[in-house]
Structure 1
């Protein structure tokens, strides 16, 4: 199971990188074409669509590697066991929020299904809005893995103390 999780992480990171490159190319091309008096009307909306997905994939990639900002100067003063309990509590709060985002993100995507991108008629805004529940699902999986890892660490420390 861990191997599938790691492969999923590599795919996420790759997709986020490709989307970032596409965003830069689209925005640059739109700027150049606008300067040449021949604007590409769909470039910026498409870049916004890519941005919505890239941020969610990149957020999970950063979260997997513990690269998101955190304030832990107080928590670091506690014993390792207490730190693990605090982390598990924090992960449970994060998981509850992500479940909220999944549920209401799906509802929002459903509401947005008839809205179209400006300059991209026929392309539903729902596809950009779906980045919220999909990204939240990926973040939830990462959060569950982190909870399992912390519980495993607690069990390992308990066994070490008993032996």
Structure 2
């Protein structure tokens, strides 16, 4: 299970990097085409879709590496037991929110499947809304791994 999770993290990193690079290329190509009086209006729309996906993938990568912002000025002054309890409550709140986000994202993807994305024929708006569902699910998986590691941890030191 851990090897699969680690592999998934590597795949996420590659896909997020490719999406970010494609965004830059598309926006640059759109600017050059506009300069040459042959605008490619679809480049901004595709870049927006890629941005939505890259945001969620990068958020999961940051969450995996504990790279998200944390404000612990008050909690670090609490006793260790209170810190651990607060950390667990935070993880559970995050997991509940992400479960709701994923479920709602899948529902939104389903109901928007017939809507076209920015009027581009044959491209469903679900390609964008699925980023919410998949991103939320990836973040939920990471949160569940964090909860399991937290509960297994023998050392009662607070999570950083």
- Does 2:35 align with 1:35? yes
The whole-number CA distance in structure 2 between the counterparts of 1:56 and 1:97 is 15
The whole-number CA distance in structure 2 between the counterparts of 1:74 and 1:11 is 37
Q: TM-score, normalised by structure 2?
A: 0.92
Name the counterpart of 2:85. 85
Secondary structure, in 3 states, of the residue corresponding to 2:38?
A: coil
Q: Which runs of 5+ in 1 are unaligned?
A: 159-163
The whole-number CA distance in structure 1 between the counterparts of 2:68 and 2:155 is 26
Secondary structure, in 3 states, of the residue corresponding to 1:122?
A: strand
The whole-number CA distance in structure 1 between the counterparts of 2:72 and 2:47 is 35
Query: 1:14-93 residue pairs with structure 2 within 5 A?
Result: 14-93=14-93
Q: TM-score, normalised by structure 1?
A: 0.90
The whole-number CA distance in structure 2 between the counterparts of 1:89 and 1:5 is 24
The whole-number CA distance in structure 1 between the counterparts of 2:118 and 2:155 is 56
CA apart distance, 1:34: 0.7
Name the counterpart of 2:9. 9
Contact 1:91–1:147 under 8 Å retained in 2 = yes
Name the counterpart of 2:102. 102
CA separation of 1:3/1:109 partners in 2, compared to 1, >3 Å: closer, same or farther? Answer: same
CA displacement 1:39-91 (0-9 Å, x = unmatched): 11221111111111111100000011111111111112234343222111101
Name the counterpart of 1:161. none
The whole-number CA distance in structure 2 between the counterparts of 1:65 and 1:84 is 19
Q: Displaced runs of 4+ in structure 1, greater than 3 A? A: none
Q: Which runs of 5+ in 2 are unaligned?
A: none
Secondary structure, in 3 states, of the residue corresponding to 1:61?
A: helix
CA displacement 1:12-63 (0-9 Å, x = unmatched): 1111111000001001110110111001122111111111111110000001
Secondary structure, in 3 states, of the residue corresponding to 1:66?
A: coil
CA apart distance, 1:119: 5.3
Q: Which has the higher helix share?
A: 1
